Amino acid sequence: MKKERGRRDAADGTVAERTNLTRRQTLAAGLGLAAGLFGAKAQAQEWWQQLPGFASYSDPGPRERRPRDAAADVLDDLREGSMPLRSQEMLSAMADAIERVERVVADGGWPTIPGTRMIRPGDEDDRVPAVRRILVLWGDVRGRRGGGGYSSLALDSELEAGVRRFQSRHGLRVSGRVDRSTLQAMNVPPAARLAQLRMNYNRVRDLLPLKLDDRYVLVNVPGFQAEAVSRHVVEARHRVIAGKPDRQTPVVTANIRALNFFPYWRVPESIANLDVIPRLIKEPDYLQREHIRVLTGSFVGPEVDATNIDWRTVDAKNLRFRQDPGPQNALGLVRIDMPNEHGVYMHDTPMKPLFEQRSRAFSAGCVRVQGVFDLAAWIARDEPNMSRERVEGILQANQPVDITLSRPLPVAFTYVTAWVEEDGRLIFRPDIYGRDQVRELAGDRQREHDPDAPPLPRETLAP
């Protein structure tokens, strides 16, 4: 038996090594120096065309070749590939990216694009050559031999495709238009991006020593996504909703100990005072509409008649608010229990249209998960008789069920605003909480709402 286990472990190690080798080869290709662009023809090129690494344009593939109108409506912001954010491969790729940006900084950076007026596809604008230079440096547009075409003032189809790639990499709405947010991102100086990369390199490095076992869940808050990882391979990713800037989701490491189906929501005191009571003053029927009970003393204390309370003068210290299970519940139909000092957790939500937003900082600190029932089944898949079908059966039965894990599953919430994908693309996300401490990124928290984005639904109170 021990020999058989040893053979399996050795085989697993060989597969893992092959996987890591493939990743390293892919990353090396994506992060290479694009030698073909820097040979004998370099003398005929502008300085910004000669910088290594950032002119390594590659064909974007079918996903980037969508018709303009269709692409503008598609939210495609999850990471791709099987490489975890928390991995030595990611750390090595980020180190290579830092080296490339250091060279750009040393060579003088890139031009600033003046003004705030939008540049639309087909427009002619004096700023277009500067836009093209920046996109070539980032590898979003192919560099041209001899520098031909760089003086063109037209935002042509090739440049529009490059703008789309740039927007996708920076977590912006993919429209192909050089709008205010895109101009703002293009004008972040390379020294600021270098500082951002170094900060996030340290964050990824600090993740590696965490004891997260072979299987774990990692939530990247500013990336608005969660990774389900097994044996150093990402098996699933999910969009998430994180905390508002004034109710930030913390960095935390914990263990998932249970899944609570059809949970009660015990409204935290902070939400009760900041949200529930002020709302009751404006909407007296809110509690009845949302199936929220008012209790005294504790969450299992006697219920009181809310219609007899003057919410303008009430002393709420001894009152507790508890929402009944059901589709209206702020936690949705499942809560992922992960005890920690911050009192945060992951859960379902009835506000699913919010997942259609590109920036998803809407909660009071907890993390809402898209496709949470799939994640719940993945978390508990090693439990007896547990499967996605079992989850569906629980939901159809419409009765509270708690599944306690026999082996708690590690989970980590982290804050990473810059990383590198397996194909070498450098990805940035807005510094929604200002934790990067880079002055030039402050505009990430001041962007105007995109009028073309899906409309925000009326929000319910939620953790």
Whether residues 138 and 224 fall in one domain: no
Mark whether 150 and 101 lie in a shared domain. Answer: yes
| 150 and 283 share one domain | no
- DSSP one-letter string for 10-49: HHHHHHHHHHHHHHHHHHHHHTS--GGGSSGGGGGS-GGG
Regarding whether 223 and 190 lie in a shared domain, the answer is no
Choose among 255, 131, 108: nearest CA to 189: 108
Whether residues 399 and 252 share a domain: the answer is yes
Same domain? For 109 and 57 the reply is yes
Domain that holds residue 149: 21-195
pLDDT tens, N- to C-terminus, the chain (463 residues):
444 444 444 444 444 444 454 554 444 444 432 322 222 233 334 433 343 334 444 444 444 444 444 444 468 899 999 999 999 999 999 999 999 999 989 988 888 999 999 999 999 999 999 999 999 989 899 876 655 556 789 999 999 999 999 999 999 999 999 999 999 999 999 999 999 999 999 999 999 999 998 999 999 999 999 999 999 999 999 999 999 999 999 999 999 999 999 999 999 998 999 899 999 999 999 999 999 999 999 999 999 999 999 999 998 889 999 999 999 999 999 999 999 999 999 999 999 999 999 999 999 999 999 999 999 999 999 999 999 999 999 999 999 999 999 999 999 999 999 999 999 999 999 999 999 988 888 766 544 445 555 566 655 567 8
Q: Is residue 12 part of a domain?
A: no
Q: How far apart are CA 458 and CA 461, in angstroms?
A: 10
DSSP structural state of residue 276: I
Chain mean position to CA 289: 33
- Those residues with Cβ within 8 angstroms of residue 291's Cβ, 6 or more apart along the chain or in another chain: 323, 324, 326, 328, 329
Q: Could you tell me the pTM of the whole model?
A: 0.84
Same domain assignment for residues 130 and 226: no
Q: Tell me if 427 sits within 8 A of 420, measured CB to CB.
A: yes
> Is the same domain home to 161 and 281?
no
Residue labelled with tokens 């079908």 = 389
What is the spatial distance between Cα 146 and Cα 430, in angstroms, rounded to a whole number?
A: 35
Q: 299 and 363 share a domain?
A: yes
Whether the Cβ atoms of residue 221 and residue 249 lie closer than 8 Å to each other: yes
- Per DSSP bridges, beta strands 319-323 and 292-296 are antiparallel
Domain shared by 430 and 306, yes or no = yes
Residue 281 lies in a domain: yes
